[in-house]
Structure 1
Amino acid sequence: MQNKNVYLPVLHPFTKHHLLFLRYLPDTPMEQNQFGIWEPKLNVQNVLPLNELDILFTPLVAFDKQGNRLGMGGGFYDRTLQNWQNKSFIPVGLAHQCQQVENLPTEHWDMPLFDILVD
């Protein structure tokens, strides 16, 4: 291991449709959010600012060769990825090959990914 830390997304408690990233360890207390997704229990001491992340792995429903991603429609990752080129992290999608499509329709707020890892 190269002394890397893992940070998981947590729904921001005060800013709707925004994410925070909290450090995760095997003994980190977890709780279900409003969507039934398990996330670290909010502890402000474990929050890492976005500009301190190295890589941001993002989920997706579909993707295309241009790096465009289709999410679940909440815009959480689009907001997080906004102006990612001005931040220190690299956004990488995690996908299965069956999720690739020829072209995705995009809007001005859609942020293409730097790379996508496929099984």
Structure 2
Amino acid sequence: MNIRQIIRQKRRQLSPNERDTAQQTIYQKIARHQAINTAKNIAIFLSFDGEVDTKPIIEYLWQQNKSVYLPIIHPFVSTHLLFLKYTSQTRLIKNKFGILEPELNVLNVLPNNQLDVIFTPLVAFDQRGYRIGMGGGFYDRLLANYQSKKILPIGLAFACQKVQHIDNKPWDVRLPEIIYA
């Protein structure tokens, strides 16, 4: 088994109580986070495969009058993501990976450089902020040179996803922050 399989299995094996306790801590950290509180446009993902449940985070962001955006696979550049405004009325469809995403409507697209915060999914991470995703490289491409765009990427994870060391490649993007419990 490789690191991706091992950590995904660990994440799926969290008991409901362990999961709930960790998620409550993560939600509290988000509610107290200065950059999130001052952000206007926030990108997040819909949970998949045992990831931290993002539905309560989305609900919280809506309550705080934040504009929430979800990723979709770009229809013309299949290695890139677009972000579409997400509301409670947004119709969701499954993409080629079986992940729910908003139905494409160009009126709902926000240019990536107008996002303030991007919550980033991950499978594993290390103390330095390097992450392993699902293997498609979507977020590494998205976050290349994120500093120049004044975007704050924040990883979301459970503590069981932390590993000693990620063997990062030159194109891997180090996240400045990962919220986990």
Range of TM-score over shorter length: over 0.9
Percent identity between the aligned chains? 56
TM-score (norm 2): 0.64
- Counterpart code for 1:80: L
Q: Give, in whole Å, the separation in 2 of the partners of 1:91 and 1:33.
A: 23
Match of 2:150 among 85, 88, 97: 88
1:97 CA drift (Å): 0.1
Q: Distance in 1 between matches of 2:113 and 2:136?
A: 22
Instruction: Tell me, in whole angstroms, the C-alpha distance in 1 between the residues paired with 2:78 and 2:112.
Output: 17
Q: Which has the higher strand share?
A: 1
Q: Secondary structure at the residue paired with 1:42?
A: coil
Greater radius of gyration (CA): 2
TM-score (normalised: structure 1): 0.97
For residue 3 of structure 1, give the secondary structure of its aligned residue in structure 2.
Answer: coil
**Distance in structure 1 (CA, Å) of the matches to 2:83 and 2:150:** 15
Looking at structure 2, the residues matched to 114 and 6 of structure 1 have their Cα atoms a distance apart, in angstroms, of 21
Question: In the alignment, residue 84 of structure 1 is paired with which amino acid?
Answer: Y
Match of 1:71 in 2: 133
Q: Show CA shifts across 1:69-119 (max 9, x none).
A: 001110000000111111121000000000001110011110000100102
In structure 2, C-alpha distance between the alignment counterparts of 1:110 and 1:53, rounded to whole Å: 20
Instruction: Give the counterpart letter for 1:109 in structure 2.
Output: W
Could you say which structure has the higher helix fraction? 2
State the distance in 1 between where 2:68 and 2:85 align.
6
Are 1:111 and 2:173 an aligned pair?
yes
Q: CA deviation at 1:17?
A: 1.2
In the other structure, the counterpart of 1:46 is 108
Tell me the CA shift for residue 16 of structure 1.
1.8
Taking the aligned partners of 2:140 and 2:72, their CA distance within structure 1 comes to 15
| C-alpha distance after superposition, 1:9-54 (max 9, x if no partner) | 0000110210000000011011011111100000011001111111
**Alignment length (residue pairs):** 119
The whole-number CA distance in structure 1 between the counterparts of 2:150 and 2:94 is: 29
Structure 2 gaps of 5+ residues are 1-62
Aligned AA for 2:165?
N
